[in-house]
Amino acid sequence: MFNPQAPRPEVSTRALVFRQALGAAFKSLRQSMPAAPDSLRALLAGSQSGPRGLLSRPGCRDALMEIRARLFQIPGRDAEAQAWWEESLASAAYAARVAQAYLTGAAPAARSPGAGVSVAASFMAALLHRSGEALALKILARVELEYRMKLDSSSRREWCATHSGELAGRLLRSWNLPEVPGLPDGDINNASVESKAVYFGRLFAIELLQPELCVPGALDHAAADLGLETALVAEVRKDDVRSLIRAMA
């Protein structure tokens, strides 16, 4: 583990070469994004019906397996990649469920039922919300293995944060996806329904997988503010998302 910015003479030359290698690898990946899964369109169509029974729909399991292989299998950084994959999959399942609630009018604050809500867009946005970080981590892990050096945690976070936005944007354009909603920018009340679904999908996923990071009651208060009834929140919490994660392990 090392910090390439640390002014230590014994590592300065290696650190410089390492940084140069990272820069070259980043430029290379920018020009050559991972290919879109063959079954991506099938996944878009299948996820519009929500997460329940998703893996039994034509092409959906294959597309998810390909997405995991392209983005979330990272030799040398296996634990981080696996954690991001599980969070992404859980976020997508929960986001689709919340979007369904808006689509059907089960969320009282929703627009009229069926008013153009895309469950598939919510699912894909949540599934790929870590895609830029995963691609950045792929670059980093490959160079680390080649040079037998490893960034410390803070430097790894800085590297991924610096490059993730551009890589995610390039990936979405390369895969020719329909407009994918992002997380709410500023006031969540004025965000699109799909962005709200992604926001809650991530909150539910963190609550499931990393409960120690959750502020007690935060999700419930946010849901109440945006018209998701207590009964609906409880129903979403009961979804067996862990079985989906296990099935895609």
**CA atoms of 225 and 190, how far apart (whole Å):** 12
Sign of CA dihedral 242, 124, 205, 52: negative
In whole angstroms, what is the distance from residue 198 CA to residue 95 CA?
5
Is pLDDT of 169 > 70? yes
pLDDT higher than threshold 90 for residue 196: no
Residue 232 clears pLDDT 90, i.e. is over it: no
DSSP state of 2: B
So what's the pLDDT on residue 247?
95
When the pLDDT of each residue in the chain is averaged and rounded to a whole number, the result is: 87
CB 98 within 8 A of CB 196: yes
14 vs 248 pLDDT, higher one: 248
DSSP string spanning 137-183?
A: HHHHHHHHHHHT--B-HHHHHHHHHHHHHHHHHHHHHHTTPPPPP-S
Predicted local confidence at residue 5, as pLDDT: 53
| Average of per-residue pLDDT across 14-27 | 87
Query: In Å, how far from its chain's centre is CA 202?
Result: 9
Structure confidence at residue 111 as a pLDDT band (50, 70, 90): very low
154 vs 191, higher pLDDT? 154
Q: Which residues contact 146 (CB under 8 A, 6 or more apart)?
A: 21
User: What pLDDT score was predicted for residue 183?
Assistant: 64
Tens digit of each residue's pLDDT (9 = 90 or more) over 67-108: 999 999 999 999 999 999 999 999 999 999 999 888 776 665
- pLDDT, one tens digit per residue, over 199-210 is 999 999 999 999
Q: Is the pLDDT confidence value at 112 over 70?
A: no
pLDDT, residue 16, reads 85
Mean pLDDT of 220-227: 83
DSSP annotation string for 95-146: HHHHHHHHHHT-STTSSSTTSS--HHHHHHHHHTTTHHHHHHHHHHHHHHHH
Predicted model pTM: 0.87
